[in-house]
């Protein structure tokens, strides 16, 4: 298993393999780590019209909680 | 003799060709027996309870029934809302073989059906009735047909007397609060778990809704040699080209660094990629691939590769506590084998090869879940410890990200191994037969033992104190006279 932080400057719902996983940002305003099983997954965000890329499929490696894997989206 | 032959021909013709038990799917959509269509209220998922019922004939059915009775007796007052029982909180029941009778009956008929289940299955000589049907002259013509088997006769009996012609569509009509039912069989070709859900049947381009629940239970309990496999049609290909694999499945195929993910995804996709070679799927006892019914829940608990992924529900903040209770009616092996020079007989060898390896596999699955829960807990403790340590050196420090939702996990295994205070009782339980008929006293004993094990299980008591701090387990005593009757001294 692994931990993933999805980076985007605004709060958005994160979709992993088309399933909503909740917001990328916690109530505290910090990014929020998500539980993910290792291997290939497709990530996308809600309201994707100003998100780059619209979706990305990445191979998530096994990562401990203190060093989560990062998936980056940019605002465009 | 000529008259008999004519009767056979007439009888065979009169019955005609049997319709496949699993019809073709008209169109792909979100309907059907899926988790999302059964458990529709996310508020009910905060405490997520999973039950896993093992195989073991009536022994397993009675033991798992005792667990349901025990959960029904656990009343507590939640923080909000009215008093309820822990049985109301059960979200998923995953079962194999004998445990599937209890699981399916409860999912269909709820606690209102308890008395009926006792009368029409637990205390009934189902095995005797199966034998009578198999030898009944009016069934000879049917059994001569290539598409009718002993398991068909068994499924007919279960359908009539236990499940009253209920189908998977009936399960969807059951009142809210009923658990999602995972009936597990074993695909003979793959040697892999096959679950009776629409998600699995999508791969066959088949509609589960019209399939009798009794057929699924018959497949789940089709013990090798004694009962024949249950056959399904695989309609994928042809007009089913609009099938779109779930993303987790197509991504699983490409996860080359994760061989377990790849293997599961390949097995599932093989129903479509090898349809020319496999227009039929033959199913045997679910205990051959998972004798405890925990593999499906383990996949859901440890990743996104499931139609009801717990990781997804935790990430969504819906689930705050997970309780997994396993009713394992595993028995011991004959300890005398090693004392004799003559090797065990054919029956012993058959029993070992059909259940022995799976017993070890089941133990590993229970361990996997316990270790998985421990790791999640330790990870969170690592995060908190790191944060505390850093703040001690630098009070202004702030962790750059928040951890996932704080979820509490409990794994409870109820097995005859846990009977420690009475060696005679333990020995008796471990020697009970695997059969669809047990003496009345043994069935009652199994129900009481399950309730006692539940009420005295430290992990269960710990879980309940987390759910309702004021809760106290009720005393369950097992009547010594019942033990004497159920376990006569040799």
- Cβ neighbour number for residue B197 with a 10 Å cutoff: 24
Nearest residue in chain A measured CA to CA from B379: A65
Q: Average pLDDT of B431-447?
A: 94
Query: What pLDDT, on the 0 to 100 scale, is given for residue B67?
Result: 98
Query: What pLDDT, on the 0 to 100 scale, is given for residue B176?
Result: 64
Pairing of strands B192-195, B180-187: antiparallel
pLDDT band at B357 (very low <50, low <70, confident <90, very high): low
Cα–Cα distance between B188 and B147 in angstroms, integer?
Answer: 17
* A6 interaction partners in chain B (CB closer than 8 Å): none
Cα–Cα distance between B450 and B14 in angstroms, integer?
Answer: 48
Query: What pLDDT, on the 0 to 100 scale, is given for residue B3?
Result: 42
- The 3-state DSSP class for residue B39 equals coil
Interface test with A, best of B303, B322, B405 (most A CBs within 10 A): B303
Interface test with B, best of A5, A26, A40, A69 (most B CBs within 10 A): A40
Going B203 to B205 to B207 to B212, the CA torsion angle's sign is: negative
Is residue B123's pLDDT more than 70?
yes
- Cβ neighbour number for residue B69 with a 10 Å cutoff: 17
Picking from A33, A40, A57, the nearest residue to B401 by CB comes out as A33
Cis peptide before A53 (omega within 30 of 0): yes
| A42-51, B188-197, B208-217, B286-295: least confident range | B286-295
pLDDT band at B333 (very low <50, low <70, confident <90, very high): low
Q: Please tell me chain B's helix, strand, coil percentages from 3-state DSSP, rounded to the nearest 5.
A: 55, 10, 35
| B211-215, B219-223, B346-350, B451-455: least confident range | B346-350
Is residue B11's pLDDT more than 80?
no
pLDDT band at B370 (very low <50, low <70, confident <90, very high): confident
Query: What pLDDT, on the 0 to 100 scale, is given for residue B188?
Result: 94
Do the beta carbons of residue B216 and residue B225 sit within 8 Å? no
Hunting for tokens 């040799």 — which residue is that? B490
Is residue B166's pLDDT more than 90?
yes
Q: Average pLDDT of A51-74?
A: 97
In Å, how far is A12's CA from the nearest CA of chain B? Answer: 13
Please state the ipTM of this predicted complex: 0.96
Tell whether B258 lies on the interface with A, counting CB pairs under 8 A: yes
Nearest residue in chain A measured CA to CA from B254: A40
pLDDT band at B150 (very low <50, low <70, confident <90, very high): confident
In Å, how far is B123's CA from the nearest CA of chain A? Answer: 44
Nearest residue in chain B measured CA to CA from A7: B401
Contact B404 A35 (CB under 8 A): yes
In the beta sheet, which residues pair with residue A70?
Answer: A5
Cα–Cα distance between B445 and B482 in angstroms, integer?
Answer: 7
Task: Report how far apart the first and last C-alpha atoms of chain A are (Å, whole number).
Answer: 32
Is residue B355's pLDDT more than 70?
no
Contact A40 B402 (CB under 8 A): no
Closest listed residue to residue B22, CA positions, set B281, B296, B274, B268: B281
Contact A33 B314 (CB under 8 A): no
Interface test with B, best of A3, A17, A43 (most B CBs within 10 A): A17
| A3-17, B51-65, B174-188: least confident range | B174-188
* Token reading at B52: 């896993």
Do the beta carbons of residue B38 and residue B178 sit within 8 Å? yes
* A66 interaction partners in chain B (CB closer than 8 Å): 382-383, 386
Q: State what percent of residues in chain B have pLDDT above 70.
A: 90
* A34 interaction partners in chain B (CB closer than 8 Å): 315, 404
Closest listed residue to residue A3, CA positions, set A18, A19, A16, A20: A16
Contact A22 B311 (CB under 8 A): no
Mean pLDDT of chain B: 88
Among B41-45, B194-198, B278-282, the range with the most confident prediction by mean pLDDT is: B194-198
Comparing B431 with B212, which gets the higher pLDDT? B212
In Å, how far is B400's CA from the nearest CA of chain A? Answer: 7
Is residue B185's pLDDT more than 50?
yes
Tell whether A58 lies on the interface with B, counting CB pairs under 8 A: no
pLDDT, tens only, B70-110 = 999 999 988 778 899 999 999 999 999 999 999 999 999 99
> Could you tell me the pTM of the whole model?
0.91
Query: What pLDDT, on the 0 to 100 scale, is given for residue B290?
Result: 86
Q: Average pLDDT of B12-41?
A: 77
pLDDT, tens only, B258-303 = 999 999 999 999 999 888 888 999 999 998 888 889 999 999 999 9
Contact A68 B261 (CB under 8 A): no
Q: State what percent of residues in chain B have pLDDT above 90.
A: 69
pLDDT band at B361 (very low <50, low <70, confident <90, very high): low
Tell whether A44 lies on the interface with B, counting CB pairs under 8 A: no
pLDDT, tens only, B388-400 = 999 999 999 999 9
Interface test with A, best of B262, B387, B402 (most A CBs within 10 A): B402
């Amino acid at each position: 298993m692994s931990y993933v932080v999805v980076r985007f400057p605004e709060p958005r719902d994160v979709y992993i393999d088309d399933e909503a996983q909740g917001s990328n940002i916690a109530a505290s305003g910090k990014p929020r780590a998500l539980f993910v099983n290792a291997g290939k997954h497709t990530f996308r965000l809600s309201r994707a019209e100003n998100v780059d890329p619209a979706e990305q499929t990445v191979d998530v490696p096994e990562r401990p909680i203190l060093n989560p894997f990062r998936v980056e989206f940019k605002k465009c | 003799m000529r008259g008999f032959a004519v009767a056979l021909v007439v009888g065979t013709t009169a019955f005609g060709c049997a319709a496949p038990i699993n019809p073709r799917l008209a169109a792909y959509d979100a309907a059907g027996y899926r988790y999302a269509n059964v458990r529709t209220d996310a508020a009910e998922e905060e405490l997520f309870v999973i039950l896993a019922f093992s195989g073991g004939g009536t022994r397993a059915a009675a033991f798992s029934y005792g667990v349901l009775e025990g959960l029904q007796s656990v009343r507590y007052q939640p923080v909000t809302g009215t008093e309820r029982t822990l049985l109301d909180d059960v979200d998923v029941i995953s079962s194999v073989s004998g445990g599937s009778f209890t699981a399916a009956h409860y999912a269909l008929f709820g606690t209102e059906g308890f008395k009926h289940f006792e009368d029409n299955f637990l205390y009934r000589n189902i095995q005797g009735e199966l034998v009578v049907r198999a030898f009944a002259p009016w069934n000879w013509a049917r059994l001569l047909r290539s598409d009718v088997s002993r398991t068909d006769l068994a499924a007919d009996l279960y359908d009539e007397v236990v499940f009253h012609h209920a189908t998977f569509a009936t399960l969807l009509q059951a009142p809210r609060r009923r658990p999602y039912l995972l009936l597990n069989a074993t695909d003979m070709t793959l040697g892999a778990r096959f679950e009776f859900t629409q998600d699995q049947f999508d791969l066959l381009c088949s509609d589960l809704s019209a399939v009798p629940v009794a057929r699924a239970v018959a497949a789940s309990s089709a013990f090798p040699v004694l009962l024949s496999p249950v056959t399904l049609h695989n309609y994928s290909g042809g007009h089913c080209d609009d099938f779109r694999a779930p993303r987790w499945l197509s991504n699983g195929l490409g996860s080359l660094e994760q061989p377990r993910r790849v293997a599961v995804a390949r097995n599932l996709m093989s129903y479509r990629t090898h349809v020319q070679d496999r227009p039929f799927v033959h199913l045997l006892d679910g205990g051959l691939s998972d004798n405890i019914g925990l593999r499906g829940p383990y996949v859901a608990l440890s990743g996104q590769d499931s139609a009801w992924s717990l990781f997804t529900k935790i990430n969504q903040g819906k689930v705050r506590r997970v309780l997994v209770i396993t009713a394992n009616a595993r028995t011991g092996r004959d300890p005398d084998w090693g004392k004799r020079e003559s090797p065990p007989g054919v029956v012993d060898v058959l029993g070992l090869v059909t259940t022995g390896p799976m017993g070890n596999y089941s133990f590993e699955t229970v361990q996997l879940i316990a270790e998985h829960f421990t790791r999640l807990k330790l990870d969170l403790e690592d995060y908190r410890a790191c944060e505390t340590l850093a703040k001690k050196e630098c009070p202004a420090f702030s962790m750059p990200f928040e951890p996932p939702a704080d979820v509490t996990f409990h794994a409870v295994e109820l097995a005859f191994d846990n009977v420690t205070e009475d060696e005679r009782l333990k020995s008796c339980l471990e020697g009970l037969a695997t059969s669809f008929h047990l003496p009345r006293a043994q069935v009652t004993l199994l129900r009481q033992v399950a309730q006692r094990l539940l009420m005295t299980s430290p992990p269960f008591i710990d879980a309940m104190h987390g759910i309702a701090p004021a809760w106290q387990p009720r005393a369950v005593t097992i009547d010594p006279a019942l033990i004497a009757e159920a376990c006569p001294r040799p």
